[in-house]
Chains A and B, each alone.
Chain A
Amino acid sequence: MNKFADKEYFRKPEDFRLISSTESKYTHVDAYEKVTGKAKYAGDFMAPNMLTAKVLHSPISRGRILSIDTSKAEALPGVKGVLTGKDFPIRITEDIEILCQGQVRMVGDPVVAVCAISEEIAEQALELIDVQYEEMPGVYDPWESIKDGAPDVQGYGYDNHNIGPTCHQQGSNDGKDIDEEFEKAAYVQHEDFKTHRIQHAPIEPHATFAEYDPEKDEWTVHQSTTMSFGDQFWLAHGFQKDVSHFHIIRPYVGGAFGSKSNWPYSEFIACEFARRTLRPVRFVQTREEEFQTMHGRHPFQIHIDTAFAEDGTILAKKADQIMDGGAYGVSHSQYAAVNLSVIWCAFPYKIDAIDFRSRRILTNTAEGGAMRGYTACQVQFAHDVNMQLAAERMGIDPIEFRKRSAMEPGYHSPAGLIVTSCSFKETLDDAAKFMRWEERKDKMGNGEGIGFAGTAFVSGTAAPVLNTPNQVQTNATVRVDLHGVVSLYSNCHDNGQGADTVMTAIVAEELGLNMNEVKLIQPSTFDSGYDSGAYGSRVTFLGGNAVRRAAVDAKRQILEVIGAKWGCEPHLLDIIDHNIICRDMGKTDLKMSWAEAVYATMLTHGGDEVVGVGSYYHRTNNAQYQGKPSNYAPSYVFSTGACHLFVDQETGQIDIDEFFFAHDCGRALNKRAVEAQLEGSIYSGLGYAVYEELKINDKGRMMNPNFRDYRMITALDMPHITTKFDYAPDPEGPFGAKECGEGTTAPIAPAVANAIHNATGLMIHELPLDPEHIWRLLKEQGLQKDHK
């Protein structure tokens, strides 16, 4: 990180030309390609001689592979290769086999791979493969799984009682003792919650197009990914080579929502077939494979004990949480799941004494993993409904109740979190105002309700995934050619969220250019610097800061040359709308065009091009990996969701009349994208809250891995939405920006749950809130007519 640039050149007056502009000069750089269908995704790549790869999956949830007979498949004309577990004698991230080596652990585990000259022949070949299994009893519930005598889910012989990573954080401010806090509490509440299993379901499934060059011993892999350096690292590990053999190119990505921060079996299989056949190989996963093998959202079971003071402020909180991790993830790679799920317990309130534990349990079901709002959607559903119930029982208005404990700028949580910019209270007020809460709260009809939920999320993470110098997260380069055309070399992963656009805009803003004058180099692991990926809401904050530093570094070199010519301090110069100008008193009439200035700089530098470099890391320690409190992210965001709905008391169906979303994302750099992200968060949050659920039967088989029975919301199901996101800029974020679009999924489910509670008096402790679930609650609890 260039400290000099930090100090002198970042004090940019807020006369932005592009940032926060909704005028047409702020363009979405890939909109044209995407709208016209020109954009190429990994599955669109084709080449003469290309082969198609497919995989045969385990039909059982746990068992031994007794035999595999592939002879008929191999004999089928057009089949060019067959692979089994013995062809991949390695494991990645400790416990994952590319193809199962003797044992299967979940329905959908990959067992045999084939490649053929057409998809049709590859499918036929799969039907000709005979795999004999010895079926063994599986375990599908985390509480069953940790009992003595439960089946060993993985069968690796780890002595772990099927318990994977665990995070336990205890701490307090000002020497407070948690037990004493509970003793002196005016009100103590104990609640249990449960959440269900869903999947990301991006429109584009995981896809690989792999080519192998035997002369260079080098793979070129077009991969639908949000973590291309992770792909490169694990492919290198899988093939026992160094990373220089793997050129990972990221084409357009058709959505990820967390699912593509992994290294799917399909890419290893495609690469191995490409090496063996010397032909290009394409592997596009099926929708069923996406549902069964691409690690959706963990189901949680959560117990919360909370101690409140007389005035409703939180004195202390304890939580014990277990998540169903599915069949894989014993290693550190899934540590983030438990660590984050502990952090969410501490948000978004001031809680001075904490004791939070999360455990990730193995079961013979599909693996859980990162998904939009990594564990925040589950944990904050529970913890916000917990707040709602407490507010009601203590007789305090729910908005006022939340504000009394709400985090504020400068608060240090015993969980290690240091709150910088924070407008949580403002988001609560805005939501109450929009819903006309004060006026309406006592006047709603039967079955009508309003619910609020407040949550928080990280803006970036401390973890660069791989071991990097200084924990650096992103390396970016800005190069200016002799004509003044700027090229940005950045691997900041665009998965549809608009990273390419915002990075282009940041450079254009900093250099006083138009967006079309900044050329983004289509990224790959060899073409531009390290970026740890699109996960943990890090791209705009961490990547954007690195890109901005690269632009500032290039700018500095130019301003130093021009400053010397003009006899001014270079940091008093600026570049506005294609001109170098001077902010020094008395010299404000000085002006030079961008092209002239670039030419002059190269002349001064003996013809060398101007190249600026930038990087960024979050200044923290790695205590978080030891389960100790640490400041997980450089900044945090705060949201309030609010929902007005009607409950059909005969069917249990809800009708959402209005949804309001207030999000403190600092300064919105691309306002239209932020608005769309918030609306998208409501879309996926509502899907989670009401519509989507992956059901597992008593044999561990997924009942609905398809879009017919897995209900994604349709346009007709979306409520009317209003968003608000103009809050205080963040001091550390690029141009004041913070996270948007991931953690914003978290307040949706609790807002809906609280609104249903408000409408009916039902106590809600479990997701999803589909009609049958509400109907069942109405039957069990009865309509609480006098609840208001």
Chain B
Amino acid sequence: MVLPKFEYLAPTTLDEAMQLYNELGSGAKIMAGGTDIIPPMRDKAPGSKCDFLIDIKHVPGLDYIEYDEKQGLKIGCLTKLYDIQTSKLVREKNPAVAQAAKYVASTQIRHKGTMVGNICNASPSCDTAPILISCGAVAKVHGRDADRDLPLGEFFKGVKKTNLEPGEIVTGLVIPPLAEDECAAYIKFSVRKAMDLAIVGVAAWLKMDGKKVVDARITLGAVAITPVRAYNAEKALIGNEISDELLQKVGVAAMSDCKPISDVRASAEYRHDMVRVFTKRAIMKALEGYKEGEI
């Protein structure tokens, strides 16, 4: 299969990129790593066509991993998944984010693909979205007239659709710090250990007071048109002490929070039950924490 013809543009400043993106309109796409842009174009997948590809890889200052005591982890839009997966800082401050990065595709693809790109592609089975939503992450959005912060929980609109306005570019992510009494985990369930799409993915963020759950955010991936919060599961969890019975209950509650479909990878029935199983496991994993060298 041959890649269709398109104009390749490589701006070297964010302003230049913005200008091109706004001038060229809907025929243009922003590309960072390109791993979700180029293969569908070659396969002539619906919605993949574009006349202008604006490669922002050459814009300086957008590849960073930083940590701020107040704001938390900051990740640039050109920061590669592999760098996030292997970052000591990320592993120390929020290992679930490093784990989510590692779940994406393969080592080769993670050397090119970025976390922001993974988010902007807005696939229902997106591996990095659930943990970002659960952790209350915010996308730094650069617009023509103004910049804004878009919470990840409000980022997704549908399959391959986001709530970005035309001409807006995501320049980075900010993930709030985990306090002493907070913990988080993400588990992806797939048949293969790499190069596979999630059957379900579950992220859990918890605020604890001893054995009691003070607050919780559970996010489910691959079981609706966008990643979705499991509000019923959260409701069942908050204010209660962790026990096997509670986890069973929470798992069952999570099943009512999603609308999985049957496709070639799994049936809706199976996905439903796996939401139950992996909601429990994600909560347990968050409480247990990640060991050194685990990711």
Contacts and interface: CB of A to CB of B under 8 A. Distances in A.
Interface of A: 118-120, 123, 286, 650-651, 653, 690-691, 695, 703-704, 708-709, 711, 713-717, 770-772, 775-776
A716 B105 CA distance: 12
Q: Which of B2, B106, B189, B194 has the most CB of A within 10 A?
A: B2
A772 B267 contact: yes
B266 interface: yes
A708 B193 contact: no
Q: Which of A690, A695, A714 has the most CB of B within 10 A?
A: A714
A717 B193 contact: yes
Interface stretch (B8-16, B21-29, B270-278, B285-293): B270-278
Nearest to B276: A650
Contacts of A715: 194
Nearest to A772: B270
Contacts of A690: 191
Given A123-B1, A286-B1, A709-B265, A775 B273 contact: yes
Given A286-B1, A650-B277, A651-B277, A703 B264 contact: yes
A118 B265 CA distance: 35
Contact of A711 (B2, B106, B196, B277): B196
6 contacts: A123-B2, A650-B277, A703-B264, A714-B106, A716-B193, A772-B267
A775 B270 CA distance: 8
Contact of B192 (A691, A703, A775): A691
B248 to A, nearest CB: 11
B264 A695 contact: yes
B116 interface: no
Contact of A716 (B194, B197, B266): B194
Contacts of B246: none
A709 B194 contact: no
Contacts of B1: 123, 286
Contacts of B197: 708
A711 B192 contact: yes
Contacts of A695: 264
A123 B199 CA distance: 34
B195 A770 contact: no
Interface string B189-212: 101111111010000000000000
Nearest to B274: A651
Contact of A714 (B2, B192, B266): B192
B259 to A, nearest CB: 18
A775 B191 CA distance: 13
A690 B190 CA distance: 13
A704 B196 CA distance: 13
Contacts of B195: 714
B191 A711 contact: yes
A651 B278 CA distance: 9
A286 B42 CA distance: 12
B273 to A, nearest CB: 7
A120 B41 CA distance: 13
A651 B188 CA distance: 13
B192 A717 contact: yes
B264 A772 contact: no
Nearest to A697: B264
Contact of B194 (A123, A704, A714, A772): A714
A698 to B, nearest CB: 13
A88 B266 CA distance: 42
Interface string B162-197: 000000000000000000000000000101111111
Given A120-B2, A691-B192, A775-B273, 14 more contacts: A123-B2, A650-B277, A651-B189, A651-B274, A653-B191, A709-B264, A711-B191, A714-B193, A715-B194, A716-B194, A717-B192, A771-B199, A772-B270, A776-B270
A286 B1 CA distance: 7
Contacts of A704: 264
Interface in B214-263: none
A691 B265 contact: no
B59 to A, nearest CB: 30
Contact of B191 (A123, A771, A776): A771
Nearest to A715: B194
Nearest to A120: B2
B102 to A, nearest CB: 11
A691 B189 contact: no
Contacts of B267: 772
B256 to A, nearest CB: 19
Contacts of A772: 266-267, 270
Contacts of B194: 714-717
Contacts of A651: 189, 274, 277
Nearest to A771: B191
A119 B2 contact: yes
A714 B192 CA distance: 7
B43 to A, nearest CB: 8
A332 to B, nearest CB: 36
Contacts of A711: 191-192, 196
B69 to A, nearest CB: 37
Contacts of A775: 270, 273
The 5 closest A-B pairs by CB, nearest first: A716-B193, A120-B2, A703-B264, A650-B277, A714-B194
Contacts of B273: 775
Contacts of A123: 1-2
Contacts of B270: 772, 775-776
Contacts of A776: 270
Nearest to B4: A120
A770 B191 contact: yes
A762 B258 CA distance: 30
Contacts of A770: 191
Q: Which of B2, B264, B267 has the most CB of A within 10 A?
A: B264
Contacts of B192: 691, 711, 713-714, 716-717
A691 B264 contact: no
Contacts of A653: 191
A680 B155 CA distance: 45
Contacts of B199: 771
